[in-house]
Amino acid sequence: MGIRKILLGAGACAVLVGATAMAWGAASQEVLTSPIWAYSVQLGPPAPPIVEDGKIYSLPGTGKSFLRSKIRGVDPKDPGVADWYPEEHPPMPKVVSTGEEGPGTRGIRPCGLCHYPNGKGRSENASVAGQPHDYIVATLHDMKSGVRQSSEPRKINAFQMVDYAKAMTEEEINQAADYFSSMAWTPWIKVVESLTAPKVRSAGGLYIPLEGAEAGSEPIGHRVVEVTINGEATEVIRDPHSGFIAYVPPGAVAKGKVLVTTGGGKTTACAMCHGGNLSGVGSIPGIAARSPSYMARQLADMQHGTRRGAMASLMAPVVAQLTEDDIINITAYLASLPPGKPAV
């Protein structure tokens, strides 16, 4: 198996993770260390807390402006998602637009806050737009039942998502699935083969290029470094038009093509299940043009046994022999493909 682990005591885990993840980490006594780049956990000193600055932010051409607290979904006077482009998506159901937060409620944050109203999401979570309705429903059910979790106990937002899924009603699950599956998947990630990648900081699961005196590049090594195209637009404004660049090692795309299309003697050709254009078929998800960080996390979680369920069980023998380099190459190639329409 291409996944390396180190054992930690419960005390060490307690230092590393938040309250929800801590209980799981203490129970499992292990932290996934490879591919650590895919999880973008905070390494080193924690980032300073976000301070509400009272500033009103705007995006050119939208005619809209929001306080930062509104953009972050924490404005008690104006709950719900800051929707920069309401004309670009169907009407949002309540679970997507406002969720249900506050005292005496179920504590569900709106889906559109993290995954965006257009379903494109960010590298720290899933891009759900254009995925099959039944796949989205099955994913939320797997989270509710406890068979889908993250291998990395420092991946706090993954455990938060499990909590939200457990609190959702069947009606809300189907409403979210109806909404996100109704939208087409469009280009969001540019893949660049390079010997170097930008120096980055981790902020809430995002890799953001450093600026000023700390800016620069470093050897890419055995990593995919998926960064925001515009740090402020993504981190602060949550601009649903601001995508990502994925820096991958030279030759990764070509090597990944061999593994994806033929199996390379160690796995199964992906098109056998995910469709000829790898954009999904039936209830099986699309994997073309999706985040390489997200896809790498899923492959690692299935190898590690923390993502189970019916579909993951079918994938288990497929991913069993993959090394970390294989995961880099496969996800680099898949992310480089054009988006397509899922087969019915």
The mean predicted confidence, pLDDT, of the chain is 89
Q: What is the 3-state secondary structure (H, E, C) of 104-166?
A: CCCCECCHHHHHCCCCCCCCCCCCCCCCCHHHHHHHHHHHHHCCECCCCCCCHHHHHHHHHHH
The pLDDT of residue 164 is: 97
| For the chain, domain boundaries | 5-39, 56-181, 189-336
State the helix-helix crossing angle for 292-304 and 324-336, rounded to 10 degrees. Answer: 140
Q: What is the pLDDT of residues 293-324, one digit of tens each?
A: 999 999 999 999 999 999 999 999 999 999 99
CATH match of 189-336 with 1.10.3210.10: no
Is pLDDT above 70 for 206? yes
How far does the chain reach from its first CA to its final CA, in angstroms?
34
Sheet holding 244-248, edge to edge: 189-193, 244-248, 225-228, 206-209, 200-203
What proportion of the chain, given as a percentage, has pLDDT over 90?
78
Is pLDDT above 60 for 33? no
Q: What is the pLDDT of residues 127-141, one digit of tens each?
A: 999 999 999 999 999
Is pLDDT above 70 for 45? no
Is pLDDT above 80 for 103? no
Domain at 56-181, CATH homologous superfamily = Cytochrome c-like domain (1.10.760.10)
The reply to whether domains 56-181 and 189-336 share a CATH topology is yes
- β-strand 56-58 against 30-32: which pairing, if any? unpaired
Nearest-5° Cα angle at 16, 14 to 22: 45
